[in-house]
Structure 1
Amino acid sequence: MAAQRPFSQLFLWLWHHGRKFRTQTVLNTVTGLLSVGSGLAFVGITKTAIDVATHKNDTFTLTQVIVMMLCVMLFQIVINFSNRWVRALLGVRAQNRMQQVMFHRLLSRNWMNIRHYHSGDVLNRLFKDVGTLVGLLTDDIPGLITTIVQFIGAFCFLCTMDSRLAWVIVGILPLTLIISKLYMKRLRSLTHQVRAEESKVQSAIQEAVQHSLVIKTLDSLDYVVGRLANTQQHLHSKVIEKTKYSSFSATFVNLGFAAGYLVTFAWGVFELQRDAITYGVLLAFIQLVGQIQGPLRSLSSYVPTFINAATACERLMELEQMPADRAAMKRAFASPQSTTEAGEKKTRRISPTGLRFSHVTYRYTPTSRIVLRDFSFYFAPGTVTAILGETGVGKTTLVRLLLSLVRPVGGSMDFVLEDGSTMAVMAEHRNLFAYVPQGNSLLSGTIRDNLLLADPQATEEQMRTVLEVAGADFVFALPQGIDTMCTEQGGGLSEGQAQRICIARALLRPCPFMLFDESTSALDESTEEGVVQRLVEYCAGRTLIFITHRPAVLRYCTHQVHLARPDGMAAHQGASTSPVRRRFTGEML
C-alpha cells in the first residue's frame, strides 16, 4: 500500500501536474460562477413575481417579470449546455494527456523496479487513479470554488431579508466540518485498502484472460473463477466497511440539514402569519435555504472526494518516483535511427568495436544466490557468439546485463572503441543493441506497425529486405500482405512466423550489436539454418550474440560461451574451432 504523504506534498505535486489543465479548470469555474449568478437572479425574480402578483410590489409589471424570468431561464440553459460541452470535450483531452504523461514516465522508470508491480495494478492506476485526479483538477476544484461562491452569495442575499435566520442556518457549518475532520483519517486509510483490492481484482481478471489457453487445457476454470470470487469478496468487505463509516457521518449531517430546513419553513410561516414578510419573501427563504445548505452538503461530500484524490495521487507518485532509467534521460551515442549525414558520421566516429566483460559477478538482490560469478569474455567486432548452458545458469541474465537492465555487483562491462580506449556500458548505450527476446513479442496491430516500431522511417524496400532475410517473405503471400492485422501476442500467426517477423523488426535497427534470445526455437531445422545463414551474411561486420542450444545456429558461430553452475563442473569459453577453457560459473536464483 502506498505511504500516506503530507497534504502539502500532495498539493505541490498536483499544482505541478495541473498546469496543463488550467484552461479547463478556469472554463469550468467561470461557467459554474455564471450558473450561481443566474440561480440567485432566478430567486430574486421569483420573489418579485410573487410580490407583484399579490400587489406587494409595483416596481415592475407582471409581464416584465415574466420576460426577465424567461431570459434568466434561457441563460441557464445556455450555461448548462456550455458546461456539459466543456466537460465532455476538454475532459477527455485532459485525461488522455495525463495518461500519456504518466505512461511515458512509467516506461522510463528502471526496469527492475517496474517488474515489482503487477501489470493489472499498473493499469488500474493509469486508468482509475488518473481519472480521479483529472476529475479533481478539472471538475471538483472548480465545483468547490463555485460551491463557496454560491454559499456566500446565498448567505448575503438571505441577510438582506433576515440576518437572524441566515446565521441560524449557517450555524450547521462548524458541526459539519468537525464531523468531517473526525472521520477523514480513517476514511483515507480505508480508501487505500479499497483501491489496493480493486487492483487485485483487475490483476486477476487480466491474468486469466491472458492465460486463457492454460486455464482451458488444465480444466481449471472453476478454480480460477473461485479465486476471483475470493478476491472480490475481500473488495466487497472493504467497500462495506468504508460505506458504513462514511454513511453514519453523512446521515448525521443530513439530519442537521433537515432540521435547518424545518426551522426555515417554520420561521417563515410564523413571520408570514405576523405579516412581517410577504409570500415572495417566504418563497425566497425556502429557495435560499436550499442554496445555503446545498453548498454545505457539497462541502461535506468533498471530503471523501479529496480523500479519493489524495489516495490516487499517492499511488501515482509511487510509480513516478521510482528511479529513472538513464537510457530515458540521455544517450551517449547518436541514435541508430538518425538519417542525417552528421548523425551518421557521429555514429561511425564513436561506435564501439568490441565489448569486454571483466570478472563480472551478479545477483538480483543482496540476499539472493549468485547468478553469474567472475564472468570474463571479449565480444570482438564482427564475431558470431553462441551463449550455451542449461536452464538457470544466467544466460538471460547475461542479456539483461548487456542491455543495462541490471547492473553487475562486481567486475566491469566496457565498450572498446576504435582508438583502443574503453567506455563503461551504461543504460544510455542501449540504442546500440537490437534485441529479439525469447518467445512471441509482436504487438497488436498490423505487421507494418510492428516493423515500424524499430524504425518509423523505414521504407517499403527496407521492410521487404529484412522480411526476406528473416525468412518471413510468407507475409507477401497473405491477402493483405504487410498490412495484415495481428491480434494480441501475434494472434493469427504461428509461433515460427511470429518469431521471424520479430527478427525482421530487429534488423531494421542499424545497431553494431544484435542479441537473439532463443529467437529461432520454433523453427524447423532447415528453415532455421536458412534464416541464420542469411542473418550472418546480412549482418556482416556487426557483432551477433545468440542464446541458443540449436546445432543449426552453432554451425555459424565463430565463438561459443558455455555457462555452468558453480557445482564443480567445468565451464569454458573460446572459439568454436579451438575452445580455450576458463572458469566462470553461474547458478539459479
Structure 2
Amino acid sequence: MYSVKQISLWLLNCWKGYHKMSIINTATGLVSVVLSLAFVWASKRVIDTATGDYKGSLLTAGLWLGSLIVAEIILFIIQRWVRNSLGVRTQNSIQQYFFRHLLHSEWHSKKTYHSGDILNRLERDVTDVVDILTQTIPATIVVFFQLGTAFWFLCLMDSSLAWVTVGILPVFIIMSRLYMLKMRSINKNVRESDSAIQSILQESVQNRMVLKTLEQCDNTIVKLDKRQGILRSQIMDRTRFSIFANTTLSIGFSGGYFIAFMWGAYRLSEGEITFGVMTAFMQLVARIQGPVLNITQLIPTFISVLTACERLMELEEQPLEADGEPQKLDDKGGVKIENLTFQYNPEENSKKVLENFSYSFPPGSCTAILGETGSGKTTLIRLMLALLHPTSGRITVYNDHQEFEVNALTRCNFVYVPQGNSLFSGTIRENMLMGRPDATEDDIRTALEYACADFVYKLKDGLDTRCSEKGGGLSEGQAQRIAIARALLRRGSILLLDEATSALDLETEKNLLQRLTQGEHGKTLIFVTHRLAVMEYCNQTLKIENRKE
C-alpha cells in the first residue's frame, strides 16, 4: 500500500499535465462564491431598505439583487459547458496514457493482472482520478474559500454569531481523520471485489461456447453470485459506517445551527442586530456549515481516489520495453541462438525450459521446429520476438553485414502468426491493414493468394465483409489463412508460424506450404509444428527435447 504522501505526489504530477480544466473550474467556483456573498449583501440591503434601517432607494437595491441573480445563472451555464467539454478530453487523454503504457510495457511481467481487472482500472479508476483532478480538488479549494469568506463576512456583522456557528469544526476534524482510516480499507476491498466480478463476466462471455460444451453455465452463475454476495456485504459494511459517521456529524451541525439561530433570535429581540443582519446571518450559516458538510461528502471521494491511484500506480510500475528507432536488417535475415538458457522464474529456481541451447537459422532457410508439448517450442519463438528475455546467453538477428541482439526494436524484422484465431472484430480489410497500413489493393490480393485466402473475394462483401470478435462468422481455417495473409503484408524478412496450419485440411495445407516455400517473398521461414507434412518442405529440422528435472 502506498503512503498518502506518495499518492499525493503522483496526483500532483498528473495534475501538471491536465491542469487547464482544474484551474478553470477553480476560477469559476471562486467567482461563484463571490457572487453568492454579494447576493447575501444585496439581500440584506433590500431588507434593511424596506424596514427603514438603511436610507436608500429600494428600486436600486432590487436592481442590484436581480443583476446578481442573472450573473449566477450565466456562470452556471459556463460551468456546465466547461465541465462537459473539457472533462471528456481529460478523461480520454488520461485513459490513453495508461492504455499506451500498458501496450508498450513488457509482455511478460512478474506481476500479472486479469484482463477484466485491467479494464476496470482503465475505466473506473481513471474516471475517479479524472474527477478528483478536474472536479474534487477545485471543489475543495472553493469550499474552503467559501468557508473563509463567509466566516469573515459574518464576523463583520457579528463576531459572536460567527464563532458560535463554527464551534463544531474541531469535532469534524477529529471524526474525519478516523473516518478516512476506516473507509480507505473498506473501499479497497470493494474495488477488488468489483474487479473480480468484471473478470468473471468478461472471461465467461469470451468463452461462452466452452462453458456450454462443459455444461458449466449454471456453475459459473453460482460463482458469480458468490462474488456478488461478497461485494454486496462489503458495500453494506461501507454504507453502515458511512451512515453512522454522517449522521453523527449532521447531529453536531444541526445542534450548532440551532444554538446559533437561538442566539441570533435573542439578539434580534434585544434590538442588538437588525432584521437584515438576521436574514443575512441565516444565509451565511448555510454558507459556513454547508461547505463543512460538503467536505464530509468529499471525504469518501478522496478515499475512493486513494484506492484508484494505488491501482493505476501499480499498472504504471510495469516496466516499458526499449524505445527508439527500429533496428531493421536491410536484407534477408537469419537468427542465431548462442548458449541460451531460460527459466520463467529464475529467482524461485524453477525448471529450465531451455539450457545452453545453440542453433542457427540462416537467411533464406526453411526450418521445422518439432517437439513434445511443453518442450519449449513456443517459448523459443517468444524469445526471438523479445516478448521474453533469456536468463543467460543471447539471440541475434543478422545478415552478411549486420547483427543485432534481439529486443523490442528488432521485432520489425519478424512476421509472426500465433497459434489459434488472432483476428480482430471489424472488416477483413481492416484486419489486413494491421499488417501494413499503407498496403495497396494489389498488395492485399497478392498476400491473400499466397495464403490460399483468395476465397475472400467470393464473399458477398469481399474485403469489406465484417467479422466479429476472434473472427466470428468465418471458419477456423478461413480465419487462420487470413491471419497468415495479414502477416505476409509485413516487411519483416523472418516468418515465424506457430502451429499456423493446424486448422487447415491436408490439401489446403499442402497448397499453402508450396506457395510459402517456393514463392518469391524471400523470407526466412520457421515453422513450429506437430505435423510431419510440414517437414517435407523444410531444408532443416530442429527437434527440442522435453527437459526432465
Q: CA deviation at 1:243?
A: 2.5
Decide which moves more: 428-437 or 41-50: 41-50
Question: Aligned partners of 1:300, 1:394: CA distance in 2, in Å?
Answer: 57
Determine whether 1:258 maps to 2:254: yes
SS in 1 for 2:364: coil
Correspondence 1:39 to 2:36: yes
Paired position in structure 1 for 2:11: 14
User: How far does the alpha carbon of each residue in 1:4-30 deviate from its partner, in whole angstroms, 9 at most, with x for none?
Assistant: x22232222222222232111111111
Are residue 369 (structure 1) and residue 365 (structure 2) matched?
A: no
Structure 1, unaligned runs of 5 or more: 335-346, 568-586
8 Å CA contact retained: 2:471, 2:479 = yes
Tell me how far 1:523 sits from its aligned partner. 1.1
How far off its partner does 1:33 sit?
A: 1.2
The one-character-per-residue Cα deviations of 1:460-487 (angstroms, maximum 9, x if unpaired) are 2211211121112122222222122221
Query: How does 1:61-210 map onto structure 2 within 5 Å?
Result: 61=58, 63-113=59-109, 116-210=112-206
Deviation at 1:228, TM superposition (A): 0.5
Verify the 8 A CA contact 2:404 2:410 in the aligned structure 1: no
Q: Could you tell me which residue of structure 2 aligns to residue 312 of structure 1?
A: 308
Contact 2:353 2:547 (8 Å CA) reproduced = no
Superposed counterparts of 1:259-408, under 5 Å: 259-326=255-322, 329-334=323-328, 347-348=329-330, 353-366=333-346, 367-408=349-390
* CA distance 1:459–1:332, change in 2 (3 Å): closer
Post-superposition shift, 1:242? 2.4
**Which residue type is aligned with residue 443 of structure 1?**
F
**1:52 partner SS:** helix
SS in 1 for 2:497: strand
- CA RMSD, aligned part only? 1.8
| Whole-angstrom distance in 2 between the partners of 1:108 and 1:144 | 36
Q: Which moved more, 1:198-207 or 1:399-408?
A: 399-408
The alpha-carbon distance between structure 1 residues 119 and 539, as it changes in their structure 2 partners (threshold 3 A), is farther
Residue 472 of structure 2 is aligned to residue 472 of structure 1: no
**Greater shift in the superposed pair: 113-122 or 199-208:** 113-122
The SS at the match of 1:145 is: helix
The Cα of 1:352 is off from its aligned counterpart by 7.0
Q: Which amino acid aligns with 2:368?
A: A
CA distance in structure 2 between the partners assigned to 1:272 and 1:312 by the alignment: 51
- Give the structure 2 partner of residue 340 of structure 1: none
1:43 and 1:284 in contact (8 A); partners too: yes
Q: Distance in 2 between matches of 1:240 and 1:176?
A: 24
2:433 corresponds, among 447, 452, 456, to 452
Aligned to 2:509: 528
Cα distance in 2 between the residues matched to 1:70 and 1:417? 82
Say whether residues 1:508 and 2:508 are aligned partners: no
Query: Cα offset for 1:422?
Result: 4.7
Say whether the 8 Å CA contact 1:387–1:547 is kept in structure 2.
yes
CA–CA separation in structure 2 for the residues paired with 1:539 and 1:266: 96
* SS of residue paired to 2:18: helix
* 1:360 aligned counterpart, secondary structure: strand
> Whole-Å Cα distance in 2 between the matches of residues 331 and 559 of structure 1?
33
Amino acid of the structure 2 residue aligned with 1:392: G
Equivalent residue for 1:582?
none
- Residues 352-377 of structure 1 show CA distances to partners (whole Å, capped at 9, x for unaligned) of 74211223222211232222233221
The question of whether the paired residues in 1 share the 8 Å contact of 2:161 and 2:264 is answered with no
Quote the residue 1:50 is aligned against.
47
Native 8 Å contact 1:330 1:428 kept in 2:
yes
Using the alignment, how far apart are the partners of 1:155 and 1:71 within structure 2?
Answer: 24
User: The residue matched to 1:113 in structure 2 has which SS?
Assistant: coil
Secondary structure of residue in 2 paired with 1:318 = helix
Separation in 1 of the partners of 2:436 and 2:8?
41
Once residues 399 and 550 of structure 1 are traced to their aligned partners in structure 2, the CA distance between those partners, rounded to angstroms, is: 17
Instruction: Report if the CA contact (8 A) 1:264-1:285 is conserved.
Output: no
TM-score where L is the length of structure 2? 0.96
Contact 1:417–1:423 under 8 Å retained in 2: no
Structure 1 residue identity aligned to 2:334:
G
Counterpart Cα distance in 2 of 1:115 and 1:448: 36
Moved more, 236-245 or 126-135: 236-245
Partner of 1:519: 500
- Following superposition, the deviation at residue 536 of structure 1 comes to 2.1
1:572 maps to which residue?
none
- Give 3-state SS (helix, strand or coil) of 2:125's partner: helix
Q: What CA distance in whole angstroms lies between the structure 2 residues aligned with 1:31 and 1:127?
A: 28
Change beyond 3 A, Cα 1:197–1:539: farther
Aligned partners of 1:395 and 1:563 also within 8 Å: yes
1:542 aligned partner = 523
What residue number does 1:338 align with?
Answer: none
CA deviation vs aligned residue, 1:367-420 (integer Å, no higher than 9, x gap): 32222233221101101111112211111111111111112223332234413x
1:279-319 alpha-carbon deviations (Å, 9 max, x no partner): 22222111110100111112233222222112111111111
Identity value in percent: 46
The one-letter code matched in structure 2 to 1:463 is: I
1:115 shift after superposition: 7.2
Alignment CA distance shift 1:374-1:114 (3 Å):
closer
> Partners of 1:537 and 1:65 in 2: how far apart?
94
How far 1:540 sits from its partner (Å)?
Answer: 4.4
Give SS of 2:395's match.
strand
How far apart are residue 332 of structure 1 and its match?
Answer: 5.0
Describe the SS at the equivalent of 1:112: coil
Q: Which amino acid aligns with 1:490?
A: G
Contact 2:326 2:412 in 1 (8 A): no
- Per-residue displacement from partner, 1:204-252 (whole Å, max 9, x unpaired)? 1111111111122222221111100111111122222223333322222
CA apart distance, 1:443: 1.1
CA distance in 2, matches of 1:199, 1:36: 39
State whether residues 332 and 522 of structure 2, in contact with CA within 8 Å, keep that contact through their aligned partners in structure 1. no
Taking the aligned partners of 1:540 and 1:360, their CA distance within structure 2 comes to 30
Amino acid at match of 1:177: I
One-letter code aligned to 1:166:
A
The equivalent residue for 1:415 is 397
Cα drift, residue 560 of structure 1: 1.2
CA distance in 1, matches of 2:61, 2:519: 86
What is the CA–CA distance in structure 2 between the aligned matches of 1:471 and 1:455, rounded to whole Å? 19
Count matched residues. Answer: 547
Q: Conserved in 2, the CA contact under 8 Å of 1:382 and 1:540?
A: no
> Take 1:478 and 1:72, find their aligned partners in 2: how far apart are those partners?
67
Q: What is the aligned partner in structure 2 of residue 580 from structure 1?
A: none
Please state how far the C-alpha of 1:425 moved relative to its aligned partner.
2.2
Task: Give me the whole-angstrom Cα distance separating, in 2, the residues matched to 1:18 and 1:449.
Answer: 37
Task: Find the aligned partners of 1:566 and 1:138 in 2 and give their Cα distance.
Answer: 56
Q: CA 1:178/1:352 → structure 2, altered by over 3 Å: closer, same or farther?
A: farther
CA distance in 1 between partners of 2:520 and 2:154 (Å): 83
Letter in 1 for 2:254: A
Question: Could you tell me how far apart the structure 1 residues matched to 2:164 and 2:111 are?
Answer: 58
- 1:489 matched to 2:470? The reply is yes
